[in-house]
Amino acid sequence: MAYRFQKKSGPSKTSVDSYDEDSVTYGGDMSTIYSPPPFEGNMQEAKALFENTNQQQKTDSLYQRIDEYKMKNMELQEALRKLQEEFTTEMDDREKIIKHLRTEYKASSTKAADLQAQLDLTIKSANEKYEKMESKLTRKVHDLEEEVLMKEVELSKLKEFAGIKDELEEEVRTLRAEAAAERRADARRRAAAEQAQTRTEARLRQRLAQDLERREQEIRKELEAAVSAEARSAVQESRACRGELQYQSLQAQAVLAEGARAASENGRLRRELAQAA
C-alpha cells in the first residue's frame, strides 16, 4: 500500500482574477451622463426614458459590487497563499519520513515475493512426487489386471479338471479381491496425498497473508504517527479558504451575468428611443 502526498504549487486563479473590466462591451459610453431630450408629450417615449435611467442606476450598482468582490477575493487569495506556504513547509519535513517508510514497505514486498516463490516451489515438488507415485501405482494395478486375465485364460483351458478349476477359481477370486483392495488402497493414498498438498498450500498461504497483514499494520501506524494534528488543521483551513473562494467566484459570475443582461437591456432601450425620436 502506497501513501502519496501532493504539494500544491500555489493558489489557483478563479474567474474573478481573470476578469477584465475593459473587455466588457456596454450599451454606450458609461462616462457620459445621459442627457434626455426635451419632453414633447409622448408618453411612450417618457416611459422608455424612465426605464433607461433606472437601468443605468442598476448597472452602476453592479459595477460597485464587482469591485467589492474583487477586493475580497484578493484578501482571500493572500490568506490562502500563506496557508499553502506553511503547509508546503510541513510536507517537506514529512516527505523524508514517508520515503523511509516506503523503503521499508518495498523490503516487505520483496520478502512477500520470496515467500510466494517458496510456496510455488513447494507445490511443484509435491506435484512431481504425486505424479511419480500415481505412475507407480498405475503400473502395479495394470500388472495385477494382466495377471488376473492370464489366470482366467488358464481357467478356461482347465475346465475339464473340476478340482483344479475350483482351485483356480478361488485363486482368481483371491487375486480379484487383492486387486480391488489395491485399488481402494491406491484411492486412499491419492486422497491422502491431495489432502497433504492442500494442507501445505493452505499453511504457506496463511503464513504469507499473516506476514503481509502484520507489516501493513506496522507501516500504517507509522504513517498515522507521522502526520500531526497541525498538518491536518492546515489542510482543513486550506479547504475552507478554497470553498470561500469558490463561493465568491460564483457570486461574481452571477453579478457579471446580471451586468451583461442590464447592458443589453440598456442598449435595446437606447435603440427604441432613437427609433421613437
Give how far Cα 224 sits from Cα of 163, 214, 221, Å.
90, 16, 5
pLDDT digits (tens, 9 = 90+) for 182-227: 888 878 877 777 787 777 767 767 876 777 777 777 767 766 666 5
236 vs 112, which has greater pLDDT?
112
pTM over 0.85? The answer is: no
Alpha helices for the chain (secondary structure H): 43-157, 162-226, 229-276
End-to-end CA gap in the chain: 78
| Alpha carbons 205 and 216: distance in angstroms, whole number | 16
Q: How confident is the model at residue 66 (pLDDT cuts 50, 70, 90)?
A: confident
CB neighbours (10 Å) of residue 162? Answer: 9
* Total residue length of the chain: 277
Render pLDDT for 113-142 as a digit per residue (tens, 0 to 9).
888 888 888 888 878 887 888 888 788 878
Euclidean distance between CA atoms 51 and 44, whole angstroms: 11
**Sequential DSSP letters for 141-168:** HHHHHHHHHHHHHHHHHTTT-HHHHHHH
Scored b (16 or more CB within 10 A) or e, 213-244 reads eebeeebeeebeebbeeebeebeeebeebbee
Task: Render pLDDT for 94-110 as a digit per residue (tens, 0 to 9).
Answer: 887 888 888 888 888 88
Would you say residue 8 has pLDDT above 70?
no
CA atoms within a 13 Å half-sphere pointing along the CA-CB vector of 45: 12
Q: Which pLDDT score is estimated for 33?
A: 41
Per-residue pLDDT band for 46 (boundaries 50, 70, 90) equals low
pLDDT, residue 165, reads 62
271, 268, 275, 277: which is closest to 55 by C-alpha? Answer: 268
- The CA-based dihedral angle spanning residues 109, 112, 117, 120, taken in that order and rounded to the nearest 10 degrees: -130
Where are the alpha helices (H) located in 2-42, listed in sequence order? none
3: cell is 501513501
Task: Kindly indicate the confidence band of residue 146, based on its pLDDT and cuts at 50, 70 and 90.
Answer: confident
- Tell me the three cell numbers of residue 22: 475593459
